[in-house]
Structure 1
């Protein structure tokens, strides 16, 4: 099954195009309330649609006032409560609470999480919550957890029933298209938005950094080196992984072993860059001494052969 990529630029572009082309419902003169980001129609308080302690957001999705979470109905019966809504980007731990008897799977960055701690999901990444009911796999929730600095967001699409109240970049107000905020430009973003049915306000305060990390490789030309390779100008806080001929090797500022190398860098924002090169031959001091001794021995043998031949001629 092809899994949903929550915040890919392609999905954001398709969603935005559909939202802009969708016919907007008629808005009566003088209306100043929130506008639905998908349809362009007025969004009024849904307090009249509340059932007990739950307020309806959309088909099969409710906000539970008592548990302060979003409830997703499971096909075949039961539900799953989550402290975030479908499509939200947050910076705090997320809690997922299935009803008794409801089994869920948690995926992080497309890989299933073995024995997940659903009571506190904290690790940075893109998440999907799925359930298998009646032999059918259903995606219930997709959300993302980011750090204070991230390069993984190029835009933010508002979840359904949410509206933007304010967006700033580097302390200046910026524009946005209905429920989509472009984050292609680097800077410090503060996004304030609201869940209209529940009346709760949310904020995303994040620094967007799309610049990949770099380093300098000395003695490498056109991907090849004849001698040791020095690593320089490594940025602070950047993690580095080095492999030689496919085997992981410990980081050191000078690489000497002959072989094919790959260096992978990752910065605090999650931006990744890689370098590939080969060391063809390397002679250290011991090697030079050994080669010098070999040369002396070969020269001595040559002299011996020449002298021996001369002696034979004299006789």
Structure 2
């Protein structure tokens, strides 16, 4: 009997984990979870109804763990999502809407081609906006931002409408909250922002490492005016940094020592693993190094020798 109960509990836990993963709801949820269903535990009075109104035209479904958005003055057009409007998350986002709905999805201001895109698992980092068209106009129905777990993309987190901050901790130290609508994230550190929906009582958490420090790119041998009259040494590039170098507008490969001596106009762009970027431009003017100077002196010596030889040869011809 005991063994049977243990096996049933184990199967329930496995089914719970599977259900949570497949539905995509485990995005940023924090709180008690029913071990049999994998769904969030809320007050009994809230579970008496399946849906709850979050804002005008927005409802939350406890059973599906989804938000439904409808167009103003047109509730026949709706979009379902596992995130509320204006949410910042490190997890994937799911969108559901009928194929006959005229919808455009933008990423960082650029329209995406969603023809072959899996909208049930949107993972690319950036700021998204879903715009729906009806017979009369276009309307931005939903927006959200996906950030990596280490990021310099955000300095403040403005809570979604109808949500409020529960707790903010930086490097495991709980902070005093003066504003329950904005989580300030300007300083570097490990952040844990807990917040909840006031209507549904469902609680979420955003866990990120904030890094606003730009790459420590250093370029030696360049004057304040951005010119160099000799070799240039590039340093301060870390292992996980992404580096792009161009010379006179063409791609240029930087050697391991970061040593550049060829004359030309250069641009170096370094982006760290948090997305912080530094770009520097400089120009190496034509110059003679020791080797070049040696060859120049030798060439000059050869020319002088030839001139002397020719002058002497002419004098001998005249004497004859």
TM-score by length of 2: 0.76
After TM superposition, give the deviation of residue 178 of structure 1 in Å.
2.9
CA distance in 2, matches of 1:284, 1:51: 83
Q: Trace 1:1-315 onto structure 2 (pairs within 5 A).
A: 53-74=50-71, 75=74, 77-115=76-114, 116-174=117-175, 175-222=177-224, 223-252=226-255, 253-282=258-287, 291-292=296-297, 294-311=299-316, 314-315=319-320
Matching residue of 1:31: none
CA distance in 2, matches of 1:50, 1:160: 22
**Contact 2:107-2:129 within 8 A present in 1 as well:** yes
CA distance in 1, matches of 2:270, 2:250: 16
After TM superposition, give the deviation of residue 313 of structure 1 in Å.
5.3
After TM superposition, give the deviation of residue 286 of structure 1 in Å.
7.7
SS at match of 1:77: strand
SS at match of 2:76: coil
CA distance in 1, matches of 2:307, 2:66: 89
CA gap 1:66/1:255 in 2 versus in 1, 3 angstroms = same
**Contact 1:228-1:256 within 8 A present in 2 as well:** yes
CA distance in 1, matches of 2:168, 2:221: 47
RMSD: 2.7
SS at match of 1:78: strand
CA distance in 2, matches of 1:248, 1:80: 44
CA gap 1:105/1:161 in 2 versus in 1, 3 angstroms = same
CA gap 1:51/1:301 in 2 versus in 1, 3 angstroms = farther
Of 246-255 and 164-173, the range deviating more from structure 2? 246-255
**Contact 2:166-2:180 within 8 A present in 1 as well:** no
- Displaced runs of 4 or more, over 4 A: 45-52, 282-290
Matching residue of 1:39: none
After TM superposition, give the deviation of residue 226 of structure 1 in Å.
2.3
**Contact 1:91-1:204 within 8 A present in 2 as well:** yes
CA distance in 1, matches of 2:270, 2:231: 20
CA distance in 1, matches of 2:75, 2:264: 57
SS at match of 1:55: strand
After TM superposition, give the deviation of residue 93 of structure 1 in Å.
0.4
**Contact 2:232-2:259 within 8 A present in 1 as well:** yes
**Contact 2:231-2:259 within 8 A present in 1 as well:** yes
Of 60-69 and 289-298, the range deviating more from structure 2? 289-298
SS at match of 1:298: helix
Size of the aligned set, in residue pairs, is: 271
CA gap 1:100/1:47 in 2 versus in 1, 3 angstroms = farther
CA distance in 2, matches of 1:293, 1:112: 62
CA distance in 1, matches of 2:316, 2:219: 57
CA gap 1:166/1:313 in 2 versus in 1, 3 angstroms = same
After TM superposition, give the deviation of residue 61 of structure 1 in Å.
0.8
**Contact 2:217-2:278 within 8 A present in 1 as well:** no
